[in-house]
Amino acid sequence: MKIGIGSDHAGYRYKEEIKKYLAQRGHEVKDFGTKSEMTVDYPAFIRPVALAVAAGEVERGIVLGGSGNGEAITANRVRGIRCVLCWNEESARLGRQHNDANMLSLGQRMMPLEMALAIVQIWLDTPFEGGRHVRRIQMIDEP
């Protein structure tokens, strides 16, 4: 699977570990940055991942920050994105099963690395249970 990944400075360390984890499992990973733990504004690195998923350039996207909240909000503003903020294995499973989530948001400050990697694996492995995609809801700022 081709997976886009991006983070701000607060999610950088886990981003690098998740990239290695994905590559070891045969996934192609496209890194949208950031490239260090130097302070940055997260939308500059999260929105490009969401746009790539929406355009079909990558099949899924993973975004990271300190809490993951801002990253999920930013991703979900892009038409066609269903980004779930996950904090445990069950939230990852349900995000795929019930919501057909094509993006995952994680907070580096919210969990140990082992939990983040477990969430990623469950999110990748879990199929959508519905027979059709979740109906897209028009965003407030869209025409």
Domains of the chain: 2-125 (3.40.1400.10)
Alpha-carbon span 47 to 74, nearest angstrom? 6
Crossing angle of helices 113-125 and 12-24, in 10° steps, is 50
- The confidence score (pLDDT) of residue 85 equals 98
Give residue 138's pLDDT. 54
Which mean pLDDT values do the consecutive 10-residue runs of the chain (143 residues) have? 98 98 98 97 98 98 98 98 97 96 98 98 95 54 54
Q: Which residues are catalytic?
A: 71, 98
pTM for this entry: 0.91
Alpha helices by DSSP H, listed for the chain, are: 12-24, 43-55, 69-76, 89-97, 113-125
